[in-house]
């Protein structure tokens, strides 16, 4: 187990016993070297145990998973079930990797009890999941698409559900899972249901609307400003002129002595493969992880990376949330993400649990719009540096100048009279023609695509 001693607790910080959780849970935590709650745990655990709905925002790596798992398991241990057949707790997470991680943490906590936990993810065998669900587990952890499939097939019923948890709710909405979340909400829609919603970035217009449907008079616990810099992550940006320049910068950073494990984010799946091959030829053990890989392959890669069997993971946004490895010292954005929130989550793969981390972002002409969005989101707090010998000519684009109106000069009355006024025919307003391709060069979709789990 990773070392947890780096969490420095403020004076008067509570201890787990004071949060009101079952002593068996406390013993399990102590067994993992976790003795004092983080701030989000100190606030969210008693609030959830008291039965309130919770809307909680706290920075990446601050202990959110235990903040919802502890009250969830406590409830299963201490309170009588509403139904013997239906699951009592359902935890939904946007990606299979994140759901798997929550599942592993949950299993550790219920070890030695009779509580059963089942994981229900897309990309895994549906019938095996049906069989597991027939055994009436008390806790189900899954991804939204597959949970919705089971609801539609009636292999999962939620009328006895007591606690519904949405981890990284904003990401699920970004991925287009609003209909699935609504279905889950409707099927578990009874008076006694409690709901908890967690993320590092909840200030999202759609979250505001959706959470009004999902939560009843929630207690808001906002411990971090999503727009503020993460104190444990040093963020630096470097200009790059083109792909070869990015490759050279990447090589420079990855070969530095202070790099432990490193995650590189790229915009495309092809680049995950290309870059990992390039690093391997340099003698740096790197593996590519993208959403198109089979589920068991994805889990296998995550597992070997978490055991430190290779140094660099090259991935797309598949691994931007949830990956909790304290040995990740560096995150490198080879390309910037399109959405500013994703930047916050990507860099949050380092600097976790009180450890320090470094985030490096390469900004080329194609990244400029994303950079501007991220800069605005983080209130300008980003700085560029350069590496001697690898400086870029590109220094960003200037914002377009607002069109200046020509100053109106008053002409003498005579001169005015000399000039004949030109009469223009009124022109019909032109109909807007839809652009045949979007900025990425794709033809517009005719139908709304079905969301796929990452």
Which residues of this chain interact with ligand AMP, rule CB under 6 A? 2, 4, 7, 34, 36-38, 41, 61-66, 324, 326, 352-353
**Strands ordered across the beta sheet of 219-222:** 117-120, 139-142, 89-92, 163-167, 194-199, 54-57, 219-222
State in angstroms the smallest separation of the CB of 98 from ligand AMP.
Answer: 9
Query: Nearer to ligand AMP by C-beta: 198 or 253?
Result: 198
Q: Closest separation between CB of residue 65 and ligand AMP, Å?
A: 3
Query: Which residues face 262 on adjacent strands?
Result: 312, 330
In the complex with ligand AMP, the residue whose CB is nearer, 4 or 274, is 4
Closest CB 220 distance from ligand AMP, rounded Å? 19
Comparing CA positions, the residue from 139, 144, 151, 195 lying closest to residue 171 is 144
203-236 as b/e: b if 16+ CB within 10 A? ebeebeebbeebbeebbebebbebeebbebbbbe
| Smaller CB separation from ligand AMP, 37 or 122 | 37
Nearer to ligand AMP (CB atom), residue 7 or residue 368? 7
CB of 58 to ligand AMP, least distance (A): 8
C-alpha 354: how far from chain center: 19
**Smallest gap, in angstroms, from Cβ of residue 32 to ligand AMP?**
7
Q: Which is nearer to ligand AMP, 245 or 345 (CB)?
A: 345
Two tokens, residue 409: 């000069």
Residue closer to ligand AMP by CB (options 2, 284) is 2
CB of 262 to ligand AMP, least distance (A): 18
Q: Which is nearer to ligand AMP, 160 or 260 (CB)?
A: 260
Provide, rounded to whole angstroms, the least separation between the CB of residue 139 and ligand AMP: 17
- Asked whether 82 and 160 are in contact (CB, 8 A), the reply is yes
Judge contact between 357 and 331, C-beta under 8 A. yes
Q: Which is nearer to ligand AMP, 69 or 312 (CB)?
A: 69
Residue 15 φ/ψ, nearest 5 degrees? -110, 160
Return d(Cα 443, Cα 68) in angstroms, integer: 42
Cβ closer to ligand AMP: 108 or 372? 108
CB 84 → ligand AMP: shortest distance, Å? 31
Q: Name the minimum Å distance from CB 322 to ligand AMP.
A: 7
Per-residue CA distances from 323 to 98, 167, 336 (Å):
7, 13, 19
Whole-number minimum distance, CB 172 to ligand AMP, in Å?
Answer: 17
To the nearest whole angstrom, how small is the minimum distance from the Cβ of residue 63 to ligand AMP? Answer: 3
Q: Which residues contact 285 (CB under 8 A, 6 or more apart)?
A: 279, 309, 310, 311, 312
d(CA 18, CA 39): 13
Cβ–Cβ < 8 Å for 328, 303: no
Nearer Cβ to ligand AMP, position 324 or 335? 324
Of 341, 318, 99, nearest to 202 (Cα)?
A: 341
Neighbours of 331 (CB within 10 A): 24
| Helical H segments across 255-339, by residue range | 269-281, 295-306
Strands (E), 96-239: 117-120, 139-142, 163-167, 194-199, 219-222, 233-239
DSSP codes joined into one string, 19-88: GT--HHHHHHHHHTT--S--HHHHHHHHHHHTT--EEEE--TTSSHHHHHHHHHHHHHHHS--S-SSS-S
Compare residues 2 and 130 and give the one whose CB is closer to ligand AMP.
2
Beta-bridged to residue 165, according to DSSP, are 91, 196
If the CB atoms of residues 179 and 308 are measured against ligand AMP, the closer one turns out to be 308
Beta partners for 164? 90, 195
CB 33, min distance to ligand AMP, A: 7
């Amino acid at each position: 187990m990773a070392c947890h001693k780096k969490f420095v607790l403020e004076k008067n910080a509570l201890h787990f016993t004071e949060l009101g959780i079952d002593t068996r849970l406390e013993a399990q935590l102590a067994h993992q070297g976790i003795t004092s709650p983080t701030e989000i745990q100190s606030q969210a655990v008693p609030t959830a145990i008291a039965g309130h709905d919770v809307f909680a925002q706290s920075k990446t790596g601050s202990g959110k998973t235990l903040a919802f798992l502890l009250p969830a398991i406590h409830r299963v241990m201490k309170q009588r079930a509403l139904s013997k057949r239906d699951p009592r707790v359902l935890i939904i997470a946007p990606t299979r990797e994140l759901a798997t991680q929550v599942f592993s943490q949950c299993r550790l906590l219920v070890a030695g009890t009779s509580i059963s936990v089942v994981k229900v993810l897309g990309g895994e065998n549906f019938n095996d999941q049906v069989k597991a669900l027939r055994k009436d587990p008390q806790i189900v952890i899954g991804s939204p698409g597959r949970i919705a499939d089971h609801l539609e097939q009636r292999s999962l019923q939620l009328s006895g559900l007591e606690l519904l948890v949405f981890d990284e709710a904003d990401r699920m909405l970004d991925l287009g899972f609003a209909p699935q979340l609504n279905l889950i909400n409707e099927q578990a829609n009874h008076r006694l249901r409690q709901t908890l919603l967690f993320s590092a970035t909840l200030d999202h217009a759609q979250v505001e609307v959706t959470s009004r449907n999902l939560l009843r008079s929630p207690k808001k616990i906002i411990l971090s400003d999503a727009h503020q810099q993460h104190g444990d992550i040093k963020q630096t940006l470097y200009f790059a002129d083109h792909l070869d320049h990015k490759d050279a910068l990447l090589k420079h950073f990855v070969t530095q002595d202070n790099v432990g494990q490193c995650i590189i984010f790229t915009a495309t799946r092809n680049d995950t493969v290309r870059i990992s091959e390039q690093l391997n030829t340099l003698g740096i053990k790197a593996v590519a992880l993208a959403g198109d890989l089979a589920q068991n392959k994805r889990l296998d890669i995550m597992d070997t990376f978490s055991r430190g069997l290779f140094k660099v993971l090259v991935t797309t946004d598949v691994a931007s949330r949830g990956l909790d490895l304290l040995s990740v010292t560096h995150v490198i954005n080879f390309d910037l993400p399109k959405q500013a929130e994703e930047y916050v989550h990507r860099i949050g793969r380092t600097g976790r649990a009180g450890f320090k981390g470094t985030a490096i972002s390469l900004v080329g002409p194609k990244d400029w719009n994303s950079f501007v969005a991220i800069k605005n989101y983080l209130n300008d707090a980003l700085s560029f540096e350069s590496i001697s010998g690898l400086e870029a000519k590109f220094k960003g684009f200037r914002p377009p100048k607002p069109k200046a109106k020509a100053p109106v000069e008053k002409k003498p009355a005579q001169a005015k009279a000399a000039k004949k006024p030109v009469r223009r025919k009124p022109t019909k307003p032109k109909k807007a023609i839809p652009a045949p391709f979007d900025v990425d060069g794709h033809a517009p979709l005719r139908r709304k695509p079905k969301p796929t789990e990452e």
